[in-house]
Amino acid sequence: MGSLILCHRKKAKHPYEITRIHMHIYTIEELCYYFCNNLYLIDYTIINKKLCDWLEEELELDDLAAELRVLLDQNCTTEQFLLTVLSHAAIYSAAEITKIHNVLEHLKNQNEVEREKYKADNLLNSGETASAILVYQSIVNKDWDESIGKEFYSKVYSCLVRHMARCFCMKKRHICMRELMR
């Protein structure tokens, strides 16, 4: 059984648009959900004063907006910014925030290609196989980062081939089932 989350009562009249994926956010809970499920996508395109203005003007979260502006002025890390928002929203337990903190630490210590693989792995875990395949393909089609080693790229190829084969088999299975149903 899931647990009930009491949401902030304010819903924005004008949504915050995450331009990278054309997503509209109306509540602080939606923003937190986006953050937690897209940690590998969080960068300056969302962590900025525009978000602070939206939090203040649309959700009337003046204290949070002010605190985030101070952090931005101090050149805060992505981790500090996200954890401040998540803590303020109070919809995640301390254990969940610690887990998110650990993931952010892990991402911080990776280079770009490793973060891309992490993104693809997470897409697979969330059932977005086609999107994951595209990310794996983009990794192998770029110039290889020699500092990572061939073992890393062999894992990427392994994931790519395995999931492409799975998609192909599922497509074939659907065709066969349609033929049997005739």
Q: What pLDDT score does 55 carry?
A: 96
* DSSP of the chain: -----PPPS---SSPEEETTTTEEE-SHHHHHHHHHH-GGG-STTTSSHHHHHHHHHTT--HHHHHHHHHHHHTT--HHHHHHHHHHHHT-S-HHHHHHHHHHHHHHHTS-HHHHHHHHHHHHHHTT-HHHHHHHHHHHHHSPP-TTT-HHHHHHHHHHHHHHHHHHHHHHHHHHHHHHHH-
Most confident of 1-10, 28-37, 49-58, 101-110: 49-58
Give pLDDT tens digits for 62-86: 999 999 999 999 999 888 999 999 9
Q: Look at residues 21, 148, 182, 171 and name the one whose alpha carbon lies nearest to residue 139.
A: 148
Q: Are the C-beta atoms of 89 and 24 separated by less than 8 Å?
A: no
Q: Which of 51-60, 151-160, 163-172 has the lowest mean pLDDT?
A: 163-172
Give pLDDT tens digits for 4-44: 455 556 788 999 998 767 789 999 999 999 898 888 778 77
Asked if pLDDT for residue 181 goes beyond 80, the answer is no
Q: What percent of the chain has pLDDT over 70?
A: 86
Asked if pLDDT for residue 91 goes beyond 50, the answer is yes
Asked if pLDDT for residue 1 goes beyond 50, the answer is no
Q: Are the C-beta atoms of 87 and 101 separated by less than 8 Å?
A: no
How far is the CA of 71 from the CAs of 5, 49, 97, in angstroms?
27, 10, 19
Q: What pLDDT score does 104 carry?
A: 85
Q: Give the phi and the psi of residue 17 in degrees, each rounded to 5.
A: -100, 125
How far is the CA of 142 from the CAs of 113, 116, 126, 153, 157, in angstroms?
9, 12, 25, 11, 13
Q: What pLDDT score does 58 carry?
A: 94
Q: Is 119 exposed, middle or buried (0-12, 13-18, 19+ CB in 10 A)?
A: buried
Asked if pLDDT for residue 109 goes beyond 60, the answer is yes
Q: For the residues 84-101, what does the mean pLDDT come to? A: 89
What is the residue-averaged pLDDT of the chain?
Answer: 83
Q: Name the pTM for this structure.
A: 0.67
